[in-house]
Structure 1
Amino acid sequence: MIDQNVNLDWRDGNTPVSTQFDDPYFSLEDGLEETRHVFLAGNMLPDRFRPEFHIAELGFGTGLNLLTSWMAWDASGQNTPLQFTSFEAFPMSAPDMRQALVAFPELYNYAERLVQAWSEDPSLSTLAGIDARVILGDARKTLVQQGFKADAWFLDGFSPAKNPELWGANLMLQVSEHTKFDGTAATYTSAGLVRRNLAEAGFNITRVAGYGRKRHMIVAQKRAS
């Protein structure tokens, strides 16, 4: 069990907004479709799924991206667990997570399993059906300690204008170090800071159509050294 470490406002009952960063956890239009557009399609998923595929993420939040990926993985016919590693500095409580995920009834069966496991251990050691791990703490300190290399990254921190620490050059370099060659990354933002830092870290950057009101987003592929 974890204590709530974030203060939230709620819009329309089910959309959590961080009061610390003044930013919603997912699109006010449709968070599930945003995840599918930005993080799945942005990383060419589920087409790239294969055994032992590994997704890594900055910003676990409500767990929506994990749930959407998990459901897509199962629907793709894979018979081994998806590997999913996420980093979160400000974990929300299990009741708040449940309230947020009520907005996505399509994910209900997965969400109930996630919330139960989260309430028991936020590292998700008890979550069956997916090889998931959440690493709590400042990703600028914790990512460097990890030994994995991901096939795809979901860069889903709060807005770079409001949370620049999660988009800094050193952290983007660590993202690159923890990405397989020809691995990919995607994010909802097209901020110049993010484009520059990812490019300097070794990614080829492309701006593509964003979701909803966002005109552009970033997709990236790691360059061969």
Structure 2
Amino acid sequence: METNSSSRFSGWTLEQARDAILAHLKEGNAGHYNIGCLYNYIVDNKLAEEKYESAQAYFSQHIQELSQSTLTRYGAVAREFTEEACREHGVMKLHTLRAYTKAANIKPTAGEPGLTPVDVPGEGEAVTQKPFAECGLEELRQAVKHKRKPSQADMPSTDAARLQFMRESFSRHFAKGARVELKTSVQRGKTFLTIQGVPLEDVERLMEALMDGVQPQLVRATG
């Protein structure tokens, strides 16, 4: 079965596609695949751009029942999986599987995504491999986090030491209950740092924490 077979919509107007989306919306989970196909049809053929600034502008005005993120999710899953797979596993689980396969650098098992092996983290360092079909949504989410989390072996030792110093600096400058997070990822041998949860009023405190966190690097550079 082909995924996202938009040929069946050939010649449809924007209004026809919209009416079909609203009709499929009444079907609940069973209609999500077709909504994704119709969303892709509208976007790919630029049907909304004739009268609206963008497809997103059109959807926000005329399909308010679904958020843009939900429409994008349905469309992404419809491009990659079959209607049968969507009915069996649900769009949310398949969307999370897409994230997992990208993080793990693998592809879903051809023909039957339910057989795709997933490394599910448990307590401590324990990891259990399960078929996608046997995984719950929360297990899949944890599996994605586990794959995205760089291991000590993946990260250069100099970067790991520097990040540890920065974490210590942040713990000194921000209260223990603060939601400030330092997240890291390793891509092609390069370590990336993302800082989240800093209130606007604490930007000065953030700058101080960053300056303190890079002091060893500055000392080495000037030395």
Q: TM-score, normalised by structure 2?
A: 0.22
Judging by fraction of residues, say which structure has more strand. 1
Q: TM-score, normalised by structure 1?
A: 0.22
- Greater C-alpha radius of gyration: 2
